[in-house]
Amino acid sequence: MNDTVNRWPAAAGLFAAPFYLTLIFALGALEPGFSHLSTPMSMLGGVPGVRGMAFNLGVATTGVLVIAFGIGLRRQLPPKMTAKVGFALLAIGGLGLNGAAYFHCNEGCRNILTQADFVGRLHIVSSLLAGMGTGLAPIFVWAAMRGSEDWKGLATPTLVTALLANLPGITFWITIATDFRLYSIEGLIQRLGFVVVLIWIFVVAARLWWMASTRNDGTGL
């Protein structure tokens, strides 16, 4: 029997990666001189007019999709504390994306790079929460998946995701904090960690969709 309630979170997870990647590549292509190798994604949020607004709205939407996916994942994971922590971290990551969208860059990200102000600092904090939440969540989800027949075959890739997602993120924030900047590849480092997480969300959401399509699970949060 189809489980419509659990299909919605699965659909959110399936949509998150293609939506976000399309967003940054489409808007990035419209900005002269924008480079996915060297330019932080936040710069797109500081573009004046409709394009900047579209980016920030898209980032906020991605945050909502991540939280919705986390709710569905929590319902289908074994009832362990690690599953609850994994969901909480995904929720923190999603809320961080919403915060980064609301407290966004001004033009050229001057409020972060050259004339740091309160909004710029809140953007940095929100972005850090987004990266930490989504990056750490797979560690706890992996711990919840271990030994579960439903998640056979995805536990190890989830652990690999945790390692691959956090390495670029840690590198990025260390370079920011120490001012040992890798300007030529800073944009790439920033993207790698989040893209890995988005791919993982897509794969896990596909399993959620399959589970929702083959059984009716009334488990709640």
DSSP state of 180: -
**Per-residue pLDDT at 216 exceeds 60:** no
Tokens of 35: 């480079």
**Per-residue pLDDT at 192 exceeds 90:** no
Mean pLDDT of 57-80: 96
- Cα–Cα distance between 214 and 221 in angstroms, integer? 20
Q: Which of 103-112, 139-148, 195-204 comes out lowest in average pLDDT?
A: 103-112
DSSP state of 32: T
Q: What is the pLDDT at residue 64?
A: 98
**Per-residue pLDDT at 103 exceeds 80:** yes
Is the pTM here over 0.75, yes or no?
yes
**Per-residue pLDDT at 16 exceeds 90:** yes
- Cα–Cα distance between 217 and 193 in angstroms, integer? 32
DSSP state of 106: -
More confident residue, 183 or 221: 183
**Per-residue pLDDT at 156 exceeds 50:** yes
Task: Judge whether 202 and 17 are in contact, CB under 8 Å.
Answer: yes
Mean pLDDT of 211-218: 69
List all residues 6 or more positions away from 221 whose beta carbon is below 8 Å from its beta carbon: 71, 74, 75, 87
- Cα–Cα distance between 80 and 155 in angstroms, integer? 15
Q: What is the pLDDT at residue 215?
A: 67
pLDDT digits (tens, 9 = 90+) for 83-99: 999 999 999 999 999 99
DSSP state of 43: G
- Cα–Cα distance between 16 and 94 in angstroms, integer? 11
The residue extents of the domains of the chain are 4-210
Q: What is the pLDDT at residue 3?
A: 64
Task: Judge whether 28 and 190 are in contact, CB under 8 Å.
Answer: no
Cα distance between the two ends of the chain: 21
